[in-house]
Structure 1
């Protein structure tokens, strides 16, 4: 038999709805796989035909607009007009995909006003969990950022909210998210009706959304050199999936649902290298099927009390170089490239220590390469790790927004390197 493995992603967080919204990130536990024929646990296609890829997708360049349509107003963003934009992006293997971003245009938008791409923490597997859908059903993971985004809109900024997990909701495929974010900005700038063709563009996000933001900043010089970014602000981002996997192990974990969901998401993006569905036992397949079309709350609930060791047919693990490389490819600490845009990063030093170590290692490397990095360490009070994570999100965001305002004004970026 040919042995391979997969990594289950997890985070140190409680099952409460608030902690779920500020998920600390993901960790991975390696599972053995052998040659088999089970299909990956792909999500049901979105029933709205707007999201489908057009037949001529490959003829388009990354960032090309494929379609756009006006959407109804969103109650939590009063006065803003809403436009859903479909664009061409690229998956982890260089193949074309169709992706979407939702654009909020403020009332009285001025010419050249900034564009902010804000990456939500989506932590889900079902297509109905996309931000472009969640805006209209009052999803708590979206409404928690309402004050932040309304403050940005009130300043006249346009806000783009990309569905950065891609068409298959490949939760865990972090590099993919960075590419979608960059192509989303390219697309929004192409649409003259949105009024941001010549606007400075900036990035922001926290936790899983912070990871997509950080990847976008790091990938921009090679993936989108035509795109100029004024700055990127992110916090609480899990920079190294390998070390988080090793800490998680095979035993039960209160956030195991997120771990298994990320493993399913990675299989969707890397079905040949991580064929995990073929090597789940009957109970694992049952739980996987329950999660395959679920959003974050349901995923965490379905995984309560579970463990990697309980759900696989064989626990011979951590011995496949090919599968480990998939996790390394999605660990920003291990990515050699560095951003060209200034960086603002914030976290609590009392957050998950594995997350903090990887973040600080990454920022030191960026500083050594000449990146203008400003780090804010939020003293949140030594609470439970998942509470520290949430508290840091709330405390650090206002300073991140002030930093972004200075960047779009063209002020030199400070550094704490």
Structure 2
């Protein structure tokens, strides 16, 4: 996100072709093609389904669903989720697992990356499948790979649950539902929890577990600064992703120099490892036509609109959050502030801080207890409150 602070000037001028947002190449599979009448469908309404080969996930049957969802400007979009059903389990609970999709290309979306070795957390799905839970993994960045658009991820997650419940062949219409995710997946899960009372009030979420949540994108952008950084590739990708979702309010491309435009086009269809490698130790100053800090209120508002720290609604579902207190990637204080606000509003919240500085280590340490929390809620045990 560091590039955000450096390259946004917020000027409203006609853009040359090179400064238009760099959208990913559309997936050529017609399964991903939005129908002309998409806008007539309700959020979560199913457009098409198909059986898939789940060769990587033993003893499972697989489905993919294309359904109507909503983008950040309220327009209809086609979204996709992949469902894994454990064989031999009648009427399993449903866990919507929001994966870490730090990527820009359509090949990186879970419906593809679950099977092309790009999704590094794929083995972790067995933690849920071995418990006899059905798992739905939505493409929560949407059809344009809008990495960083957190609110979008929340809506797609909720609509994915709606869609799964509507497909009779899956047998999950009456199954209890939980949401889970870490880092970017935790952000989508936590946003889904916060949006559910207003966006999908009919959904009865038994539990939501989210760890390492980026709760303040503005803070993250300012914290990375302008010096070369090993994780700059992901920051740059997040800026590109937000521009895709907010092309008129977040015009990153118009502020890039020739090197910045070259790098944008080079990474526009790529996944996490490619982004990290080619962005490592670059900086905003190398890619921006100007290194002046943004004073654009509109650009900052986009960051805040995608930051839980500034979203005032309170989740009503039982919620479990965990976070590293020394996490240098996703600041602890912003999550702690959200927790304090939720607790003061009476949320059924358990918050577990870990004195760990490395971001992904906290995922490994925290997930077992998080899934025990889910299991207890699925058994009907009352949610504890630990603020």
Give TM-score scaled by structure 2 length: 0.96
1:118 matches 2:97: yes
The DSSP-based 3-state class of the residue aligned with 2:9 is strand
2:10, 2:294 within 8 Å by CA — same for their partners in 1? no
2:49 maps to what in 1? 68
Q: For 1:294-314, what per-residue CA distance to the aligned partner results, in whole angstroms no more than 9, with x for missing partners?
A: 101111111122111221112
1:43 maps to what in 2? 24
CA gap 1:176/1:218 in 2 versus in 1, 3 angstroms: same
1:341 maps to what in 2? 317
1:34-183 alignment to 2 at 5 Å? 34=11, 35=13, 36-37=15-16, 38-75=19-56, 77-111=57-91, 113-143=92-122, 146=123, 148-183=124-159
1:83, 1:104 within 8 Å by CA — same for their partners in 2? yes
1:14-413 alignment to 2 at 5 Å? 31-34=8-11, 35=13, 36-37=15-16, 38-75=19-56, 77-111=57-91, 113-143=92-122, 146=123, 148-352=124-328, 355-380=331-356, 385=357, 388-413=358-383
Q: For 1:331-355, what per-residue CA distance to the aligned partner results, in whole angstroms no more than 9, with x for missing partners?
A: 1111011100011111222222861
Q: Distance in 2 between matches of 1:96 and 1:40?
A: 19
CA gap 1:404/1:30 in 2 versus in 1, 3 angstroms: farther
Unaligned runs of 5+ in 1: 1-7, 11-26
1:90, 1:176 within 8 Å by CA — same for their partners in 2? yes
The DSSP-based 3-state class of the residue aligned with 2:8 is strand
1:110, 1:156 within 8 Å by CA — same for their partners in 2? no
Q: CA deviation at 1:28?
A: 6.0
Q: Distance in 1 between matches of 2:277 and 2:37?
A: 40
Q: Distance in 1 between matches of 2:114 and 2:205?
A: 26
1:238, 1:355 within 8 Å by CA — same for their partners in 2? yes
Q: Distance in 1 between matches of 2:217 and 2:75?
A: 24
Corresponding residue pairs, total: 383
1:18 maps to what in 2? none
CA gap 1:282/1:353 in 2 versus in 1, 3 angstroms: closer
1:230, 1:408 within 8 Å by CA — same for their partners in 2? yes
RMSD: 1.5
Q: For 1:234-286, what per-residue CA distance to the aligned partner results, in whole angstroms no more than 9, with x for missing partners?
A: 10111001111111122221111111101100000000111211221100001
Q: Distance in 2 between matches of 1:254 and 1:372?
A: 38
Q: Distance in 2 between matches of 1:409 and 1:130?
A: 32
Unaligned runs of 5+ in 2: none
CA gap 1:30/1:414 in 2 versus in 1, 3 angstroms: farther
Q: Distance in 1 between matches of 2:220 and 2:183?
A: 14
CA gap 1:268/1:353 in 2 versus in 1, 3 angstroms: closer
Q: Distance in 1 between matches of 2:163 and 2:221?
A: 35
1:131, 1:142 within 8 Å by CA — same for their partners in 2? no
The DSSP-based 3-state class of the residue aligned with 1:177 is helix
Q: Distance in 2 between matches of 1:29 and 1:62?
A: 36
Q: For 1:25-59, what per-residue CA distance to the aligned partner results, in whole angstroms no more than 9, with x for missing partners?
A: xx865522532233210000001110110111011
**For structure 1, which segment, 403-412 or 300-309, has the greater mean C-alpha deviation from structure 2 after superposition?**
300-309
2:118, 2:271 within 8 Å by CA — same for their partners in 1? no
Q: Distance in 2 between matches of 1:153 and 1:117?
A: 12
CA gap 1:227/1:9 in 2 versus in 1, 3 angstroms: farther
Give TM-score scaled by structure 1 length: 0.89
